[in-house]
Structure 1
Amino acid sequence: MKRFIQSYIGAVVLWVLGSLSMGAAISPWVYRSGKALAAMAETNTLPALLEWLGRACGKSEFDRFFDRSLLFSAVILMPLLFRRIKTLRSASATLPDVPGTGVSWKSAVLQLVTGCVIAAGLFWVMGMVLEHAGVYVLKTKTPGFLKLLPKVLLPAIGAAFVEEWLFRGILLGLWLRFARPVWACLGTSLLFSFLHFLKPPEGTMIGNPADVFAGFELLSKVLLHFTNPVFFVTDFATLIAVGLILSWARIRTGVLWFSIGLHAGWILAFKGFSEFYKDVPTHPIHPWGVGDSLRSGMVPLLMLGITAVICHFVLRWFPANPNKPTDSQVLD
């Protein structure tokens, strides 16, 4: 245990636990402050930014304040994590580096576009097959391009770059210094999936959101949600598979471009498809076969397996990472 706490991964785990605890502790106070601002915005003339923020706070439920409190806590504690990592690096002069490899901008663009086309194309084809089977139906009102831009394209670009830099860049790199590649990929993917689902199930109620322990009450319900077998198999396991594919692609290529392309492609597919189609809740394939979107269910999990096989052969076209980590590079 002592060795784990004094490791890079121990520092990351402590950062996650600290962020959860701090976020749960401050969320009731953030909720009270937000509702107070909303009341002021209704009765007083405030600057435009505060007016907008007050209206947003007035419409938001406690879970949104909880989510923002977690994000704030993670950002506030991030410098402590980096400081701890810097200290560990200084004290571990014998710890091996796990280098990547540089690529030309042409190769980077090619990897990014290839990954995006593979991920988006396969999942959109899957969506069309499911639509033909009656699992989804076309919405009566579909959005125009200008509405798709902020809802689909911008999140795909932003989330892909930021999350790949954080999870497959920083965290996977740190984990590779502590564990063998297979365990590094699995550990990063578990954390990736866990953090994505740190939100309460739909319909979750909190008795008194202003109570000092309301954040911990909501946190307990969020964690309890992970014991739901349907959620665990159809949502949590699917996102773990996504994380494993992205981590493997990062190690295989030595850079993030192919992983960024895959990530962006998946977001484009499931967000774009959701803008045009809606699920049929009474279809017998729900909820195990397919969830409420293309990213949950056994069918998407199977498609992820097919995607991994295709990527395995496609990546042969690109130069392998000459510094690809092996078990012998990692300290036991």
Structure 2
Amino acid sequence: MQPLSQPRSALPPLFAYLAAVLVGGALFAPLLFDLGKGTQRWLLDSPALRELAAVKWLLGEIGRAHFTRYFNRAVLVLALVLIWPLLRAIRLERGVFPSFAPVKSGLLEALAGFALAAGLLFGLGLVFIQGGVYALKPDAAWLRLSTHLTAAFGAGAVEELFFRGALLGILLRTMSARAAFGWCVFIFAIVHFLRPPGDWQLADTDVRWHSGFAVLARLFSGFGDWRVFVAEFLTLAAVGAVLARARLVTGRLWLPFGLHAGWVFGLKYFTALTITSDALNRGETLPWIGANLKIGLAPLLTVLVTGWIATRWAGPARLE
């Protein structure tokens, strides 16, 4: 009987995987863009279909989507497709995902995490409103919740399955829990920090087969401003640390899923209800307060407090 092969170090294949995802995403994004625009034209030319509510929603999403959004989705698709080759390269013999059972208590964990994260983040936003950094829109759509909830739970499910499920599971199989925790936090923060500037977009008419590489070159622009780096990267690292700790404390993905969804919902809902002040737009409030509720040292402290409350009752995480 042959002994089971030992898992290889995860880091070299993992960094090769990340490089392949970025380069592959850059090549795939123009194809995805053409598919989206082609679908839009086909639906607009179909009178029977374009009157359906679901089709109207889809047309609205396609119409608002710039090329950078297609790039993001292309990277996500490549990340999911290349997971299996990554697992084969590391030679893992066991599953990397934690158990989801029992489901009932897991759902309660997720709901509690959602309420805590969204509540504290929205509370921070109310403090900002009182301080004049933000103001409520006169026509704020308070009851328009479905879009924000869908985005929150969708992002929470996909990202937790990938980062705290697959990625952290892979790292835990090939290194100590402490090292796995650190690398998971770092990769999560870097992946989310690498983005083009918010005021930069590529016109639809300028999209070519190589346009994904133009986006790729812009992803590293955030490292050029130390205030943006401190205000955003540290907050992203704190979010990654809280979610990874929640996974290690509970041994499941329910609590990090709820926390993640709560933060996304709080961010999107608050952004939809408010307008920013001139001082914030000029960057005068950095590094404490950034362009939204995920940027700044004040959101960073809120994230840490949320994580402390969420995991306090569950006992110490195993970081050996």
Specify the TM-score bucket, using the shorter chain as the normaliser: 0.7 to 0.9
- Partner of residue 162, structure 2: 166
Is contact 1:62-1:209 (8 Å) kept? no
Kindly name which structure, 1 or 2, has the bigger radius of gyration based on alpha carbons: 1
RMSD value, Cα: 3.4
1:271 aligns with 2:278: no
1:310 aligns with 2:313: no
Mapped partners of 2:97, 2:294: distance in 1: 32
Identity %: 30
Tell me the SS of whatever aligns to 2:279.
coil
From 69, 72, 77, the equivalent of 1:72 is 77
Is contact 1:41-1:55 (8 Å) kept? no
Is contact 1:29-1:210 (8 Å) kept? no
Mapped partners of 1:311, 1:273: distance in 2: 22
Which runs of 5 or more structure 1 residues have no equivalent in the other structure? 91-95, 328-332
Report how far residue 204 of structure 1 moved.
2.5
Tell me the SS of whatever aligns to 1:137.
strand
- Partner of residue 93, structure 1: none
1:241 aligns with 2:243: no
- 1:276-315 to 2 correspondences below 5 Å: 276-283=273-280, 286-315=285-314
The 1:9–1:210 alpha-carbon spacing in structure 2 relative to 1, beyond 3 Å, is same
Greater alpha carbon shift after TM alignment, 112-121 vs 166-175 = 112-121
Greater alpha carbon shift after TM alignment, 172-181 vs 238-247 = 172-181
The 1:162–1:75 alpha-carbon spacing in structure 2 relative to 1, beyond 3 Å, is closer
The 1:126–1:32 alpha-carbon spacing in structure 2 relative to 1, beyond 3 Å, is closer
Mapped partners of 1:102, 1:37: distance in 2: 37
Which runs of 5 or more structure 2 residues have no equivalent in the other structure? 1-6
- Partner of residue 259, structure 2: 262
TM-score (norm 1): 0.77
The 1:209–1:113 alpha-carbon spacing in structure 2 relative to 1, beyond 3 Å, is same
Mapped partners of 1:210, 1:272: distance in 2: 31
Greater alpha carbon shift after TM alignment, 208-217 vs 113-122 = 208-217
Tell me the SS of whatever aligns to 2:314.
helix
Q: Can you list the C-alpha shifts for 1:154-189, whole angstroms capped at 9, x where unaligned?
A: 122222222212211111111112232232122112
From 192, 212, 215, the equivalent of 1:196 is 192
Q: Can you list the C-alpha shifts for 1:241-289, whole angstroms capped at 9, x where unaligned?
A: 0010110111111112221221122122222222222221325862322
Q: Can you list the C-alpha shifts for 1:36-62, whole angstroms capped at 9, x where unaligned?
A: 7777888x669948x988887676543
The 1:55–1:168 alpha-carbon spacing in structure 2 relative to 1, beyond 3 Å, is closer
Number of positions where the alignment pairs a residue of Structure 1 with one of Structure 2: 306
TM-score (norm 2): 0.80
From 112, 121, 124, the equivalent of 1:114 is 112
The 1:46–1:54 alpha-carbon spacing in structure 2 relative to 1, beyond 3 Å, is farther
